[in-house]
Structure 1
Amino acid sequence: MKKLRYLLILLSASLVLSGCKGGKVSEEETLPELTNMTVDGVINEEAYNVIPGRTAGVKAGVLVQYAVGREGVYFGLTVTDTKHQVSAPSGIVASDYVGLAVDALAVPKSDDGVSESTKLFRVDTMGRYTYTTGNEYGAWVDVDSGVYEGVISGEEVPTIAVNIVKDQYYVVEIFFTWEHLGTTEEAAKDANCLMYYIEHRDMGVDIHADANILAPAMYNRLVYLGNRKGSNLPADPPEITIDGVLDETLWDTAFVTNSGNFKERVPDETAGDYRTLAIWGEKGIYLGVEVEDPHIEAPNGTGAAYKNAGMEMRIHVYNKDGLPLNSLKWLFDVWGPQWHETGAGGLASSFAPYAEYKFVISGTIDNNEDTDEGWSFEIYIPFSELGVTNVDSDYIKILHAVGSHEQNNMLPQEYLDLHPDVNWDYPEDYPRISKPV
């Protein structure tokens, strides 16, 4: 049985290698020897600064950091929460809590579901926690639970520390050995990626999940070696710098997919001009947004994020004969991505896309005591992520709605002239972008 187990580990590692593309890795680069690492709920080690972190959760309230080395992987989650709320009878997931799922063997974008290699830890602001793992039938199996009193560790449990500062923040630090994740140092180096998922609840706002928790292959992809370290970055770098500022000369050639003025369309609106742009590049498409808004507001959680300052994109991909290849629905508010789904929609189809994006917020969010300038946004989406099969002849239809607080349905006027009932379901009438002639 032990021999079979390691055979399965090696097979899984080879599959991960075939599914992970994480940029260029030199032959000399190896997993580092991490020193001076202490799992104590304080994320202050230099190793956490090597790989760029990211924000996640409700209103970007979770800072996710990681450190990957020869022995395994460390995760540090810092959750900003100025009002800790709990539901004693209902348990963890009905309280303010954060969850982390990790799978080092799931093949990105495959049909891999929950299995023995999928690990899940949840803790709320009272310190109540659960640690579970998947089984061969795709179900969750409880391994450990209780109320946090000190560092947790064991043969079947990673090393975990929780640090709760009431009504300010809480921190989770976890160290998984490669063996605990069902792999080896050498296999992890060759794979150069693992999948992870963050879920976060703020009872005063909402709950936010990165993807479908039952589909580890659709989790965030963490690459830890090479020139594209980080979460969900496309393997091929973009042609321009993705910094949220549309100042490169390439933007002078962009298609204008939507433009207008909020005040002209909504009499009581305070926001001003807006426009959305699209570029068909060599490796993918680039989308840009510029919005004038003196009061940037985004008070809603994921469920009502469409009412926040932000945007929604409906993207349909076709071949030269007009046959559909793919469809996507993607909603960003100024906190970040709120959901990303296939055309089928719903939680089951949600996944973490591989794209590089950046917001620039000129002002403060949800603070009406000052006057803001507005916000801009820039994103690079590779053709492979969109499902484009022939860069020369395929084309895309995109409906790019943009808005301020409570007015997030600003569709192109040309589209509204055709569909005054504000029906979004006519992709044949969306603005078209394709390779320039």
Structure 2
Amino acid sequence: MACVTITNAQAQTPPAPKNYTCYRAEKSISIDGKLNERSWKKAAWTSSFVDIEGDKKPLPLQETRAKMLWDDHYLYIAAQIEEEHIWAYQDKKDQIVYLENDFEVFIDPDGDTENYYELEINAINNTFDLFLPKTYRKGGKAQLKWDIKGLKSAVSVEGTVNDAKGKDKRWFVEIAIPFESLATENVKPVIPADGSEWRINFSRVNWQHEVDATGRYSRKRNAETGKIIPEYNWVWSPQGIINMHYPEYWGKLLFRNEEAGKAR
């Protein structure tokens, strides 16, 4: 889950961070949600996402995976999200997107666990982004007015959106984040070079749902208590705890100068 700490308990033995080698795109990527460029086809997928707590919990009910590329100006991120019921109603910038199903990106360019960035996006391409100078447990306060300047994003859907009559297959997210935009008045951007290593992680928030008489989706409630049933948190590199805001547990992103598919 994105911004709210569900538990303050620390993992006794955090899982080993996963690694991804990010190769260069041979040409500029058109952000249309379709992933049809040759560079995308050559870029490797991450391993399938797992529960945020790792081996403590069962594998996710639906598959999620991601891949990355880069060039002189952008970090490109793509995700494939299997989903039998694709729904999203939040359509205003910086609404709390994780209150519905979403895909989330967490980036700490220098890996010092401070001055990190978060982006959330839903199936109708609405985004919510923020900057954190330090983690919540260290007194950090999310700067919600901060924006990723020049962000490009697009979504494509295999199925329907907000139509509960049938089952859907999946949706794709495609994102281009300008390196220069990962900065604030007090934090300079970190421009990667060959061999640079960042910390990064991805999260998918997935809610059990119900459908009312009008066909509108909503988060499912417990029949006895009336409370909303807690969401699933499926991630690339497991945290060991239900809290994404431990950047030291995120995965490692290694930048290489070789083009995707040409690495020796």
TM interval, shorter chain, is 0.5 to 0.7
Distance 1:291 1:376 in 2: 6
The aligned residue for residue 401 of structure 1 is 203
Distance 2:238 2:50 in 1: 16
Which residue of 242, 247, 251 corresponds with 2:40?
251
The aligned residue for residue 231 of structure 1 is none
Distance 2:165 2:35 in 1: 28
Q: Tell me the SS of whatever aligns to 1:336.
A: coil
Contact 1:332 1:338 in 2 (8 A): yes
Q: Tell me the SS of whatever aligns to 2:130.
A: strand
Corresponding position: 1:265 with 2:59? yes
The aligned residue for residue 435 of structure 1 is 255
RMSD: 3.0
Distance 1:310 1:348 in 2: 17
Contact 2:97 2:128 in 1 (8 A): no
Cα offset, 1:253, TM superposition = 4.6
Which residue of 231, 238, 246 corresponds with 1:415?
238
Corresponding position: 1:317 with 2:76? no
Distance 1:275 1:392 in 2: 24
Cα offset, 1:374, TM superposition = 1.6
Distance 2:156 2:122 in 1: 12
Q: Tell me the SS of whatever aligns to 2:238.
A: helix
Runs of 4+ off more than 3 Å:
252-258, 299-304, 322-326, 344-349, 403-408
Specify which structure has the higher proportion of helix.
Answer: 1
Distance 2:31 2:142 in 1: 29
Distance 2:165 2:104 in 1: 28
Distance 2:106 2:192 in 1: 20
Contact 1:342 1:350 in 2 (8 A): yes
Contact 1:255 1:433 in 2 (8 A): no
Cα distance change of structure 1 residues 285 and 360 upon mapping to structure 2, 3 Å threshold: same
The aligned residue for residue 241 of structure 1 is 30
Q: Any unmatched runs of 5+ in structure 2?
A: 1-26, 52-57, 134-140, 183-188, 209-230, 258-264
Contact 2:100 2:206 in 1 (8 A): yes
Distance 2:199 2:102 in 1: 20
Cα distance change of structure 1 residues 431 and 353 upon mapping to structure 2, 3 Å threshold: same
Q: Tell me the SS of whatever aligns to 1:436.
A: strand
Letter paired with 1:400: F
Cα offset, 1:252, TM superposition = 4.2
Cα distance change of structure 1 residues 255 and 339 upon mapping to structure 2, 3 Å threshold: same
The aligned residue for residue 382 of structure 1 is 178
Cα offset, 1:258, TM superposition = 5.3
Distance 2:162 2:207 in 1: 10
Q: Which has the higher contact order (CA 8 A, sep 6+)?
A: 2
Which residue of 134, 141, 153 corresponds with 1:357?
153
Specify which structure has the higher proportion of strand.
Answer: 1
Contact 2:148 2:181 in 1 (8 A): no
Distance 1:303 1:240 in 2: 27
Distance 2:114 2:192 in 1: 11
For 1:33-432, list aligned pairs within 5 A: 239-254=28-43, 256-257=45-46, 259-260=48-49, 265-266=59-60, 269=61, 272-299=62-89, 304-318=96-110, 326-344=115-133, 345-347=141-143, 349-386=145-182, 387-406=189-208, 407=231, 409-412=233-236, 414-416=237-239, 419=240, 421-432=241-252
Cα distance change of structure 1 residues 396 and 256 upon mapping to structure 2, 3 Å threshold: farther
The aligned residue for residue 39 of structure 1 is none
Distance 1:305 1:295 in 2: 17
Letter paired with 1:401: S
Cα offset, 1:287, TM superposition = 0.3
Cα distance change of structure 1 residues 371 and 261 upon mapping to structure 2, 3 Å threshold: farther
Cα distance change of structure 1 residues 374 and 349 upon mapping to structure 2, 3 Å threshold: same
Q: Tell me the SS of whatever aligns to 1:415.
A: coil
Contact 1:254 1:278 in 2 (8 A): yes
Distance 2:64 2:98 in 1: 17
Q: Normalising by the residue count of structure 1, what TM-score does the alignment of the two structures yield?
A: 0.38
Distance 2:205 2:72 in 1: 29
Cα offset, 1:410, TM superposition = 0.6
Cα distance change of structure 1 residues 325 and 346 upon mapping to structure 2, 3 Å threshold: closer
Q: Tell me the SS of whatever aligns to 1:366.
A: coil
Cα distance change of structure 1 residues 385 and 296 upon mapping to structure 2, 3 Å threshold: same
Contact 1:297 1:405 in 2 (8 A): no
1:138-174, Cα deviation, whole Å (9 max, x unpaired): xxxxxxxxxxxxxxxxxxxxxxxxxxxxxxxxxxxxx
Letter paired with 1:280: W
Cα offset, 1:317, TM superposition = 0.4
**Greater gyration radius:** 1
Cα offset, 1:379, TM superposition = 1.0
